[in-house]
Amino acid sequence: MSTTSEEPEKYIELLNLEKEVLSIRFDRTRNYANIVIGAGYVGIFTSASHLKDKISTSTFAIVMLFASISLVSFVIFEIWKITATSLQISSDYRRLTQAKRPGPKLFFMRKIENITMETTLKVISVWPIFLIVTLTTGFISAGIVLLCYIYLSFS
C-alpha cells in the first residue's frame, strides 16, 4: 500500500518519463522530416535549374522565391534550435564548473543530461509554425516546377 507522500513522487516520475518519451519521439520525427525536406530542396533546385532555359524568367523567379523562402524558414528554425540548446548548455556548464562540492556537480551533471529533453520540449511549440511555412512554400515551388514540366511535355 502506498502512502500519500509517495503519490506525488510517482506522479512526478511518471510525468518526467512521459516528457522523455515525447522528446525522443519528437526528435525522431524532426530528424526524418529534415531528411525529407533536404531531399525536396535538392529536387526543386535541380529541376528548376534544368527548366531555367525553357521557362520564362518571371516563372523561374517565382519558383526560386518560394523555394528560397522555404529554405530560409528551415534554416532559421535550425539556427534558433541550435542557439537555444547552446545557450542552455553554456549556462549549465558554467554553473557546473563553478561548483565546489561534489553534490552540486552531480546535480548539474544530471541537469546537463536533461538539456536535450528540455530544449526539445520548448522547440515542439515553435516547430509546427516553421514546418508549415517551410512545407507550404516548398510545395508551391515544387507545384510550379511540376506544372512547368507538364506544360512543356504537352507543347
CA dist., res. 70 & res. 68, Å (int): 5
- Over 90: is that where the pLDDT of 44 sits? yes
Domain boundaries, the chain: 6-154
Of 55, 52, 47, 60, nearest to 146 (Cα)?
Answer: 47
Q: What share of the chain is helix, strand, coil (3-state, %, to 5)?
A: 90, 0, 10
Confidence of residue 155 (pLDDT cuts 50, 70, 90): confident
Lowest mean pLDDT: which of 61-70, 78-87, 133-142?
78-87
How many C-alpha atoms does 61 have within 13 Å on its Cβ side? Answer: 3
Report yes or no on whether pTM surpasses 0.85: no
Confidence of residue 17 (pLDDT cuts 50, 70, 90): confident
pLDDT at 87: 80
